[in-house]
């Protein structure tokens, strides 16, 4: 066990099992104390690597994350405190691993309920290797103005109220972390404050004892008096009694053992901590208080008198000239986190993203205001989900079914079209699913599958202006623009595209109006007079029919329809649908274990 200071203003720690709030509280305390370097050197998250962003005052810093204790200790050889936030199930193993590292001197075990047999092994190893354990079931410890562990002393407001940003003259040790916070406040009211405070932990077998730390405090020149808060149960306080009787402590010790109310109960009572159990007279609070008093500690008659006795002891030391006045300093202002400031109404900040189609902040996600449970309970289909996320409204069933038909009909068109070919070649090159999918999607454009928006745009403009098919087609020809949605490499007047026929049949049956589709058919009649393959293709059919869907549903204004076409919603249908096919081709090539593709020489014209 250490014989003097275990912390200083340059102490750095390794934090096991990332917890944002206690780490940030440590860094805020660092800033409050005027430390030059952050007290957290590294974070250990088993299996993870990288960095975690936190604040050191106004500055945002990146603290390295290591996958193992060994890696962290090697990377930060000057970090000698190990703060273990592992659960009680794994705390013992990780703590033992840390104790075995030559760079680690102090291990704080936050978890309570660590198996007692494991704790005994940790204690034995630590004592034989001159190392310090705080806990299990501890909040940690603090050296005022220098270093603190995790959530010790609570919020920044409490730390400032207790003047823990600068050292005082009192060494404090307790079993309870919660009561430590109370006592820091009490001591700050009646003395010049804490020099060091330790919570040894409330489990039956703490890694270090009350007397261990009192003896340390006795060797620290800055500590002029000690305050000890014990509790009923166990015999830990008697080691302090022996130390006092043997004259090992030559500074005033003010002590109180809580739990005197246990005698009011007829049977044995278990208090908050595992070790706080009323047993025989020796383990009772009264028995311990009496023993401490007889050994020379200053013990009040009740907890209510504890503060007054601390004040009296401190004042006596001041009068004897053993305590010099502490120079008060004004701690710096800790910058307030933006989210806290916004909630308190102190600031307003612009958002970075606007979203109107979904919301995941409640108990369940919502699509355009419709809860996920409603979507499932009402049997919504993919078309309904698309209508909510793309068009922000629930379209009639005939509309959503049309969307689904478009997706089904456009999902694939064989392995020879450019998008599928690219996907197949990429998959056979050993690339992953996303890479293969994207290589196919990147071919979608004016010449392949990307003409739906243009078809809708030109058909709508011509129809709305009352152009005859002749005027429309010849006008496009003069501009050097091919009519989108017209023409096919394989299909012709005598070999119609079945997909187009199916879409037209559905629209005639369910749509209230097919004005734009009829116009597209009139254009087709004219273009077929020029060439046998200038038929209405699937792009033109979907483009014109979608115009009829939007206009006929009565749910969209003219401006909204124009926006939908201009933004590219309709091409989105083809992208969505064809993704299904591209994914299928990727899986097909992987399943067949096809080798790298190489285009055959005989299929290439090597021109001079």
Q: Which of 76, 273, 488, 585 is catalytic?
A: 273
Find how far residue 315's CA is from the centre of its chain: 50
Integer Cα distance of 33 and 166 in angstroms: 7
> Quick one: tokens of 471?
């005027």
What's the rounded Cα separation, in Å, for the pair 404 and 407? 5
Q: How far apart are CA 289 and CA 238, in angstroms?
A: 10
Q: What is the DSSP string of 44-112?
A: E-TT--EEEEEEETTEEEEEEEESSHHHHHHH-TT--EEEE---TTTHHHHHHHHHTSTT--EEEE--S
Tokens 């004897």 sit on residue? 320
Task: Please say whether the beta carbons of 41 and 12 come within 8 A.
Answer: yes
* Cα gap 294→275, rounded to integer Å: 24
CA dihedral 379, 383, 386, 390 (to 10 degrees): -130
Pairing mode, strands 358-359 and 366-367? antiparallel
Cα(504)–Cα(228) distance, rounded to whole angstroms?
Answer: 88
Cβ 9 vs Cβ 128: under 8 Å: no
Tokens representing 444 are 């979608």
CA neighbours closer than 13 Å in the CB half-sphere of residue 41: 20
Q: In what helix (H) or strand (E) does residue 148 lie, and over which residues does it extend?
A: strand 147-148
Residue 591 to residues 135, 413, 530, 585, 586: CA-CA distances in angstroms?
55, 20, 46, 10, 9
Cα 78 to its chain centre, rounded Å, is 29
**66 has catalytic annotation:** no
What's the CA angle centered on 292, arms 289 and 295, to 5 degrees? 150
Q: Rounded CA gap, 69 and 46, in Å? A: 8
Strand partners, 148: 142
Radius of gyration of the chain (CA): 38
- Residue 428 pairs with which residues in a beta bridge? none
Q: How many CB atoms lie within 10 A of CB 148?
A: 29
Per the CB < 8 A criterion, the answer to whether 159 and 153 are in contact is: yes
CB atoms within 10 A of CB 529: 12
- Rounded Cα distance between 2 and 574, Å, is 72
The 3-state secondary structure of 184-222 reads HHHHHHHCCCEEEEEECCCCCCCCCCHHHHHHHHHCCCC
Q: What is the dihedral of CA 432, 434, 435, 436, to 10 degrees?
A: 80
Q: Which residues are catalytic?
A: 273
């Amino acid at each position: 066990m250490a014989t003097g200071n275990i912390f200083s203003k340059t102490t750095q720690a390794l934090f096991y099992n990332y917890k944002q709030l206690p780490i940030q509280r440590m860094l805020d305390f660092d800033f409050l104390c005027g430390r030059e370097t952050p007290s957290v050197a590294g974070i250990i998250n088993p299996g993870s690597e990288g960095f975690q962003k936190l604040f050191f005052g106004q500055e945002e810093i990146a603290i390295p994350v290591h996958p193992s204790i060994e890696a962290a200790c090697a990377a930060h050889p000057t970090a000698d405190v190990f703060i273990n936030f592992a659960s009680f199930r794994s705390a013992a193993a990780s703590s033992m691993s840390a104790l075995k590292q030559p760079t680690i001197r102090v291990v704080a075990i936050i978890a309570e309920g660590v198996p007692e047999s494991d704790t005994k092994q940790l204690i034995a190893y630590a004592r034989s290797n001159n190392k310090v354990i705080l806990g299990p079931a501890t909040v940690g410890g603090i050296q005022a103005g220098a270093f603190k562990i995790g959530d010790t002393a609570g919020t920044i407001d409490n730390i400032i109220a207790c003047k823990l940003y600068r050292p005082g003259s009192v060494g404090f040790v307790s079993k309870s972390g919660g009561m430590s916070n109370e006592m820091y406040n009490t001591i700050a009211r009646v003395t010049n404050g804490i020099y060091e405070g330790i919570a040894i932990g409330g489990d039956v077998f703490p890694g270090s004892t009350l007397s261990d730390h009192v003896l340390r405090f006795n060797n620290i020149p800055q500590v002029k008096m000690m305050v000890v808060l014990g509790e009923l149960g166990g015999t830990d306080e008697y080691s302090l009694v022996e130390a006092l009787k043997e004259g090992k402590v030559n500074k005033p010790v003010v002590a109180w053992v809580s739990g005197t109310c246990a005698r009011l109960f007829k049977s044995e009572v278990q208090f908050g901590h595992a070790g706080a159990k009323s047993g025989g007279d020796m383990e009772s609070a009264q028995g311990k208080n009496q023993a401490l008093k007889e050994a020379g500690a200053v013990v009040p008659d009740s907890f209510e008198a504890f503060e007054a006795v601390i004040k009296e002891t401190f004042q006596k030391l001041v009068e004897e000239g053993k305590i010099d006045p502490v120079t008060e300093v004004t701690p710096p202002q800790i910058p307030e986190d933006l989210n806290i400031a916004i909630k308190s109404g102190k600031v307003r900040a612009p958002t970075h993203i606007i979203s109107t189609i979904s919301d995941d902040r409640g108990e369940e996600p919502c699509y355009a205001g419709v809860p996920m449970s409603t979507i499932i309970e009402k049997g919504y289909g993919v078309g309904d989900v698309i209508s909510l996320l793309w068009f922000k409204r629930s379209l009639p069933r005939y509309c959503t079914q049309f969307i689904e038909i478009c997706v089904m009909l456009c999902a694939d068109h064989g392995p020879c079209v450019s998008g599928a070919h690219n996907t197949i070649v990429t998959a056979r090159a050993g690339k992953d699913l996303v890479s293969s999918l994207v290589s196919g999607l990147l071919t979608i454009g004016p010449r392949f599958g990307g003409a739906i928006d243009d078809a809708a745009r030109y058909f709508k403009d011509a129809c709305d202006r009352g152009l005859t098919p002749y005027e429309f087609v010849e006008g496009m020809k003069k501009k050097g623009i091919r009519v989108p949605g017209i023409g096919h490499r394989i299909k012709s007047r005598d070999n119609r595209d079945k997909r187009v026929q199916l879409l037209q049949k559905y629209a005639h049956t369910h749509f209230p109006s097919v004005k734009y589709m009829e116009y597209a058919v009139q254009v087709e009649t004219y273009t077929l007079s020029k060439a046998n393959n200038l038929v209405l293709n699937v792009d033109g059919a979907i483009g014109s029919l979608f115009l009829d869907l939007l206009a006929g549903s009565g749910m969209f204004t003219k401006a909204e329809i124009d926006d939908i076409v201009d933004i590219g919603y309709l091409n989105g249908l083809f992208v969505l649908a064809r993704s299904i096919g591209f994914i299928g081709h990727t899986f097909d090539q992987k399943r067949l274990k096809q080798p790298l593709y190489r285009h055959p020489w005989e299929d290439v014209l090597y021109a001079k």
